[in-house]
């Protein structure tokens, strides 16, 4: 059985990532890309679906973990009366080869360790052809893929696995390097482990140091930024929402989705987090990714793409995997890619607006594309859509979608005015005002004094917490304050926020899921906006306490079982953490709405 979701830590090489359990088992790894087939899929089944275990051979050994400071290098310390050792797990940022390196260092006395490598390509289905090239070198081949293992100690084949029990003494080191390469090419050379470790450490420390922020970031925000950076597919700048598929939003349920894709929403919000923390390089790379991905006819813009901008993301179910703790189905691809979600236009315009303010150059082509997107939005904003939550029930007029249509025109107008860009300003301004009236008339319930999830509905929706931060209404507007109160009264579970009530809203799925962590951060942001700083800090602290021992968060949390649920680690949760950390850092000054947020490099001169 796989571990609990919070038992996993992330390592990655900026093109893919692996999950390492507290028990020393790598239970998830898709190679060579985030969205490739997994060769270790025990996470969604069991050891027979592929994993790589490296752990103490005997029971009674204490385990503790941490990341080496400001890096993605994982250190798992094993300790018993007999001895102590540390396992260092890491993936060097991708060069010519892609490696998982596991280095065991004996520190005291002696410890018995055990390793077991089970390679199953094709999401746990395909048993490879394994050959013994040299005493300490193995190759596993199936179709297009080859894995090569170099180990300092001999492994032996046993029941379609490679296994070894060994002892490590104080001062000794044992290393394992597992590399992926296409099976038609010569296998890569074994890297120098010390150089690879030093380079990896240098890469991450340097990246962290590049951020420019007015106040020092907290450790939690830094860990979130490192996690977000690890979710960027470096060759293209595309960002996955999470490195996993089908970790359930409810254990045993069907709300299991593939997140190894690039959502415009999640990616733009990630970019806002990076820009808040002064990381502009990634913002620029993603802006280029975006312009390539959405290039073409504006009426064909999708809400998500593959990491290289692929458009066909057909969803299918993996019949041979039982799913995480039997939460079936396991899905690959995501049918939501063809949905209309109007908020995405607002998110894209907002991030491009923030990028310009951050001094990231805009091109004429980029601005033309924005203008075309807006002329398309002008035609469709009144249509019902599937909303930010991508409901699989009927489309409707989601209030948040319309608010974001307002955001789209608002930000473009501001850019056109500030940077003197060519634009139909009168037309856009008229439309912006019309959308505002539309939302205030039809998305607002005057009897209950709150905005509602969709026009005509009585349901509430946590996305409406963003209304003030987006600049749609001031935070002291009675309608906004009433919405915050209504959400506090109806959508809280153990003080955390559900995105909506799955018993009331027909989202096309059986009801029941955890609290959605980004929404809980939004409530903390709303408290900041409303001047309720003590409550904001208290909620933020409670949210931080949900992160696991190495600072990672899933998409959701189940207060009943006190477990993290949903895909892991989830960009949406971590980017929201960074945003709230920044809001709290600025909270002593008047709260700033997102539309007016200052950027460390804010300069209209740098276009």
> Among 520, 539, 536, 517, which Cα is nearest to 591's?
536
From residue 605, alpha-carbon distances to 4, 419, 601 in Å are 50, 9, 10
Using CB under 6 A as the binding rule, whether residue 263 contacts ligand LLGJG24Q is answered as yes
Query: Residue 566 Cβ, how far from ligand LLGJG24Q at the closest point, in Å?
Result: 8
Region from 198-206, 253-261, 396-404, 536-544 binding ligand LLGJG24Q, contact rule CB under 6 A: 253-261
Question: Is residue 151 involved in binding ligand LLGJG24Q (CB under 6 A)?
Answer: no
CA angle 586, 492, 553 (to 5 degrees): 60
As beta bridge partners, residue 209 has none
DSSP string, 267-294: HHHHHHHHHHTT-HHHHHHHHHHHHHHH
Nearer to ligand LLGJG24Q, 574 or 594 (CB): 574
Nearer to ligand LLGJG24Q, 68 or 392 (CB): 392
Q: Give the one residue of 265, 287, 432, 436 binding ligand LLGJG24Q; rule: CB under 6 A.
A: 265
Residues of this chain, 225-244, that bind ligand LLGJG24Q according to CB under 6 A:
241
- Chain-centroid distance, C-alpha 35: 14
Q: Which of 27, 37, 89, 266 binds ligand LLGJG24Q (CB under 6 A)?
A: 266
Q: Which of 80, 151, 334, 454 binds ligand LLGJG24Q (CB under 6 A)?
A: 334
Rounded Cα gap, residues 432 and 449, in angstroms: 23
Q: CB 334 → ligand LLGJG24Q: shortest distance, Å?
A: 5
Residue closer to ligand LLGJG24Q, measured from CB, 259 or 527: 259
Q: Is 256 helix (H, G, I), strand (E, B) or coil?
A: coil
In degrees, rounded to 5, the angle at the alpha carbon of residue 32 between the alpha carbons of residues 26 and 34 is: 75
388 binds ligand LLGJG24Q (CB under 6 A): yes
Window contacting ligand LLGJG24Q (CB under 6 A); options: 68-76, 256-264, 441-449, 476-484: 256-264
Classified as helix, coil or strand, 148 is strand
- Give kind and range of the element (H or E) at residue 163: strand 161-169
Q: How many residues bind ligand LLGJG24Q (CB under 6 A)?
A: 14
- For ligand LLGJG24Q, give the closer residue by CB, 313 or 423: 313
Nearer to ligand LLGJG24Q, 140 or 404 (CB): 404
Among 102, 255, 353, 438, which residue sits at the site for ligand LLGJG24Q (rule: CB under 6 A)? 255
Relative to beta strand 25-30, strand 492-493 is unpaired
Candidate segments 54-62, 74-82, 383-391, 534-542, binder of ligand LLGJG24Q by CB under 6 A: 383-391
CB of 408 to ligand LLGJG24Q, least distance (A): 17
Q: Minimal distance in Å, beta carbon 580 to ligand LLGJG24Q?
A: 17
Q: Report the alpha-carbon distance of residue 90 to residue 204 in Å, rounded.
A: 12
Is residue 118 at the binding interface for ligand LLGJG24Q, with CB under 6 A as the rule? no
Residues 345, 347, 348, 350, Cα dihedral to 10°: 120
Strand partners, 176: 102, 151
**Member of 6, 35, 390, 525 binding ligand LLGJG24Q (CB under 6 A):** 390
How far is residue 267's CA from residue 293's CA, in Å, rounded to a whole number? 13
Q: How far is the CB of 274 from ligand LLGJG24Q (least distance, A)?
A: 17
Query: 252: helix, coil or strand?
Result: coil
- Which string of x and - marks every residue 563-602 that binds ligand LLGJG24Q (by CB under 6 A)? ---------x------------------------------
CB of 12 to ligand LLGJG24Q, least distance (A): 18
Nearest to 459 by CA among 504, 498, 496: 504
User: Minimum distance between the CB of residue 91 and ligand LLGJG24Q, rounded to whole angstroms?
Assistant: 23
CB atoms within 10 A of CB 352: 26
Under the binding rule (CB under 6 A), the answer on residue 68 touching ligand LLGJG24Q is no
Tokens of 589: 């000054």
Give 261 or 285: the residue with its C-beta nearer to ligand LLGJG24Q. 261
Coil, strand, or helix at residue 589? coil
Residue closest to 556 by CA, chosen among 489, 494, 510? 494
Residues of 501-538 as b/e, b for ≥16 C-beta within 10 angstroms? ebeebebebeeebbbbbbbbbbbbbbbbbbebeebbbe
Among 66, 392, 448, 586, binds ligand LLGJG24Q (CB under 6 A): 392
Shortest separation between residue 6's beta carbon and ligand LLGJG24Q, angstroms: 18
Q: Choose which of 336, 355, 464, 475 interacts with ligand LLGJG24Q (CB under 6 A).
A: 336
Q: What are phi and psi of 199, to 5 degrees?
A: -65, -40
Task: Find the part of the chain contacting ligand LLGJG24Q (CB under 6 A) among 64-72, 258-266, 370-378, 533-541.
Answer: 258-266
Residue with Cβ nearer ligand LLGJG24Q (211 or 384)? 384
From 51, 58, 57, select the one nearest 20 (Cα to Cα): 51
Q: Of 150-158, 202-210, 384-392, 583-591, which segment contacts ligand LLGJG24Q by CB under 6 A?
A: 384-392
> Is residue 259 a contact residue for ligand LLGJG24Q (CB under 6 A)?
yes
DSSP 3-state assignment of 459? coil
Q: Kind and range of the H or E element at 349?
A: helix 343-357
Answer for the pair 36, 65: CB distance below 8 angstroms, yes or no. Answer: no
* Binding stretches for ligand LLGJG24Q (CB under 6 A): 241, 255, 257, 259, 263, 265-266, 334, 336, 388-390, 392, 572
């Amino acid at each position: 059985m796989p571990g609990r979701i919070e038992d996993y830590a992330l390592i990655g090489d900026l093109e893919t990532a692996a999950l390492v359990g507290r028990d020393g088992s790598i239970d998830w790894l898709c190679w060579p890309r985030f969205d490739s087939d997994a060769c270790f899929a025990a996470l969604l089944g069991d050891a027979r679906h592929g994993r790589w275990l490296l752990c103490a051979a005997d029971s009674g050994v204490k385990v503790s973990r941490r990341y080496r400071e400001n890096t993605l290098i994982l250190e798992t310390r094993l300790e018993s009366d007999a001895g102590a050792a540390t396992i260092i797990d890491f993936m060097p940022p991708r060069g010519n080869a892609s490696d998982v390196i596991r280095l065991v260092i004996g520190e005291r006395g002696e410890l018995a360790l055990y390793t077991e490598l089970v390679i199953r390509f094709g999401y746990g289905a395909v048993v490879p052809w394994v050959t013994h090239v040299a005493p300490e070198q193995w190759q596993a081949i199936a179709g297009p893929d080859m894995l090569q293992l170099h180990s300092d100690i001999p492994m032996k084949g046993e029941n379609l696995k490679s296994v070894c029990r060994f002892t490590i003494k104080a001062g000794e080191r044992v290393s394992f390097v597992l590399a992926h390469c296409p099976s038609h090419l010569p296998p890569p050379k074994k890297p120098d482990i010390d150089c690879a470790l030093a380079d990896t450490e240098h890469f991450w420390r340097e990246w962290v140091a590049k951020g420019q922020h007015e106040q020092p970031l907290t450790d939690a925000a830094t860990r979130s930024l490192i996690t977000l950076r690890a979710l960027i597919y470096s060759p293209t700048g595309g960002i996955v929402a999470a490195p996993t598929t089908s970790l359930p939003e409810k254990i045993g349920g069907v709300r299991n989705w593939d997140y190894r894709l690039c959502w415009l929403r999640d990616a733009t919000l990630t970019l806002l987090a990076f820009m808040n923390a002064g990381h502009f390089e990634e913002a620029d790379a993603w802006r280029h990714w975006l312009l390539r991905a959405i290039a073409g006819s504006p009426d064909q813009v999708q809400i998500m793409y593959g990491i290289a901008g692929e458009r066909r993301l057909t969803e299918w179910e993996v019949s041979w995997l039982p799913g995480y703790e039997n939460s079936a189905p396991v899905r690959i691809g995501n049918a939501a890619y063809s949905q209309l979600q109007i908020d995405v236009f607002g998110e894209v315009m907002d991030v491009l607006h923030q990028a310009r303010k951050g001094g990231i150059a805009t091109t004429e082509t980029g601005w033309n594309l924005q203008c075309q997107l807006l002329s398309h939005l002008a035609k469709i904003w009144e249509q019902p859509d599937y909303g930010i939550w991508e409901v699989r029930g009927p489309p409707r007029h989601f209030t948040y979608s319309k608010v974001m249509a307002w955001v789209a025109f608002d930000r473009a107008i501001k850019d056109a005015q500030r940077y003197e860009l060519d634009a139909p300003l009168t037309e856009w301004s008229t439309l912006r005002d019309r959308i505002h009236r539309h939302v205030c008339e039809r998305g607002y319930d005057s009897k209950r004094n709150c905005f509602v999830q969709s026009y005509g509905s009585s349901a509430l929706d946590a996305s409406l917490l963003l209304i003030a931060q987006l600049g749609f209404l001031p935070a002291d507007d009675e309608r906004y304050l009433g919405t915050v109160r209504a959400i506090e009264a109806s959508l809280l579970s153990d003080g955390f926020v559900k995105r909506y009530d799955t018993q009331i809203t027909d989202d096309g799925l059986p009801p029941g899921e955890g609290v959605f962590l980004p929404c809980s951060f939004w409530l903390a942001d709303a408290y900041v906006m409303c001047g309720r700083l003590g409550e904001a800090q208290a909620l933020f602290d409670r949210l931080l306490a949900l992160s696991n021992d190495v600072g990672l968060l899933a998409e959701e949390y189940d207060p009943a079982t006190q477990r993290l649920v949903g895909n892991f680690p989830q960009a949406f949760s971590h980017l929201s953490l960074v945003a709230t950390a920044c809001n709290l850092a600025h909270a002593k000054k008047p709260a700033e709405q997102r539309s007016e947020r200052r950027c460390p490099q804010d300069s209209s001169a740098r276009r």
